[in-house]
Amino acid sequence: MKNSVPIKDAWQHCPRCGRPAETKGEQPFECDVCGYFHYFSPCTAVAALIVDESGKMLFIVRGKDPGRGKLGLPGGFVDPDESAELALQREVMEELQLSAGAVEYLASFPNQYAYCGVIIPVTDLFFVVEVHNFDGMSAQPGEVDGWTFLPVESVSAESLAFDTHQRALQQYRRWTGLVDGTESNGVE
């Protein structure tokens, strides 16, 4: 995220009246000319934890920054007027040509996403997603460079593009009883 600035610092003008922003960097943004008010609330992103019949989890190799070349869970941003569940099914289809079945909520974590020199706050929502048929998988050009199935316990934090995905894997290990801590029954 070097050379990137938080979105509240990147706003140079009021988006409603065009007046140069005098309160740059403040949250919320408030225009003292037209009175426009804006909260820099997080965007919503979704990610899918998908395991095959042998219990290995599906990871994509990211085809673009942030985290190009690193592993990530399939997913993406929720569109306006779209539910998180539908966004999940759409992204899994777009990225890998897979049909997502039943969806079960797992956890959420706050993330930051640096893109085009601007850092935006994101809420990452994680779901366990059923996929019954992995035939015909295909990586979305420009977005996904490939995919791999790995035992959940073997995935290192360094290999993942996002810290939130690592936290979701930890939560999944507890959820499935792969590590101690199931009795805590909660998010860290």
**Binding positions for Zn ion, rule: CB under 5 A:** 14, 16-17, 19, 31, 33-34, 36
Task: Specify the residue, 36 or 40, whose C-beta has the smaller distance to Zn ion.
Answer: 36
Q: In the bound complex, what is the minimum distance in angstroms from residue 43's beta carbon to Zn ion?
A: 23
Q: In the bound complex, what is the minimum distance in angstroms from residue 79's beta carbon to Zn ion?
A: 27
Task: Specify the residue, 37 or 105, whose C-beta has the smaller distance to Zn ion.
Answer: 37
Query: d(Cα 165, Cα 32) in Å, to the nearest integer?
Result: 40
Q: In the bound complex, what is the minimum distance in angstroms from residue 36's beta carbon to Zn ion?
A: 4
Task: Specify the residue, 14 or 78, whose C-beta has the smaller distance to Zn ion.
Answer: 14
Q: In the bound complex, what is the minimum distance in angstroms from residue 19's beta carbon to Zn ion?
A: 5
Task: Specify the residue, 22 or 130, whose C-beta has the smaller distance to Zn ion.
Answer: 22
